Amino acid sequence: MNNTDTGSTDVQAQETSTHATPGPYRAPPLAPEKVDPAERIERSEEEWQALLSPQQYYVVRQKGTERAFTGEHNDFKAEGTYHCVACGNPLFDSAAKYDSGTGWPSFWAPIQEGRVHTEADNSLGMARTEVLCARCGAHLGHVFGDGPPPTGLRYCMNSIALNFSPAAAEARGTTTGQGENCVAQDGKLIFDFQGQDEAARWVRVNDGVMGGLSQSEMRFTAEGTALFEGTLSLENNGGFASVRTIPDDFALGGYTGLAVRVKGDGRRYMLRLRTDRYLDGPAYESGFDTVPDTWVTVRVPFRDFVPTFRGRRLRNMPAIDGADVRQIGFMLADKQAGPFRLEIDWIKAYEDVS
């Protein structure tokens, strides 16, 4: 893996080359204090092939590379720990993650000495240093000497080889249970889903516009929350379900970002914004993980929203300004077929106070 990914192979092109597994495997994440860095596990290739999805097996066992800017962890910014997807070994802390601009999640150091192993890689006609999980030998990516201080290293990893475990809510500044953090209390309320007039401001946009079969709805509950739920289908080139507001001027100029209080199902959703200039074109999005059946507050600064169009990141576009926001929405596009459920308590704008 390198900045241009010269000679690498598209993960999607390998889907028919191995076995068929219902979905990606994610080994239970292990806390650093619960697993000895010297511990090793061994499995036969037949066992790995039966355990992992075709895409995972291609990358972590056959040393493949996923396409740049397609991995779920590339622009992911939550606080927590990245584990080996095959064995759960803790590999990287989010505090060491940075935006390298290469299209792959990058870190300047592993979480602990001995968690990863490196080997010389002379494939593809170039000299590189391969990074592997020290516990199970899974291929993770490569390390380069062009990273930031304090190490000067860039651990360039495949998202598909990683499993993210969010930090404890109190450690990452989110709110669990029934409380709210101070930013949420002081922010500008945009939606609290208390009146039926708010329901008329939301519309659903699923992959049926492209021939897909996903289904979703946005309904209001008796408890005063909104429920975005349905079934995600991967058939007919589908794979996404979404809801968004009708165009409106939310008057968010001067605010730092958005805060949402949600209770999900453990899946990763996207908060999406559209501006008056791009109502039917590019959108700005930021992904967030949910904890099953647990209320959490997610804060996303406007500067962290990434411009995209039909699943591809756009370059040379300005960062979104809160004053330009005209639509707010939620999307699920995690390539996992099946039912989903995201409950939303409120949406607010917040302003950092120095």
Among residues 93, 78, 119, which one has the least CA distance to residue 31?
93
Which residue type occupies 271? L
Q: Which one is catalytic: 84, 136, 156, 182? A: 156
What does DSSP say about strands 295-301 and 338-350: parallel, antiparallel, or unpaired?
A: unpaired
Residue 182 annotated to the active site: no
Sheet order of strands, 106-107 included: 97-98, 106-107, 154-157, 139-144, 128-133, 116-121
SS (HEC) of 228-247: EEEEECCHHHCCCEEEEECC
Residue whose C-alpha is closest to residue 238's, from 204, 214, 212: 212
* Contact in structure between 128 and 80 (CB atoms under 8 Å): no
Peptide bond into 32 cis (omega under 30): no
Provide the annotated active-site residues. Answer: 156
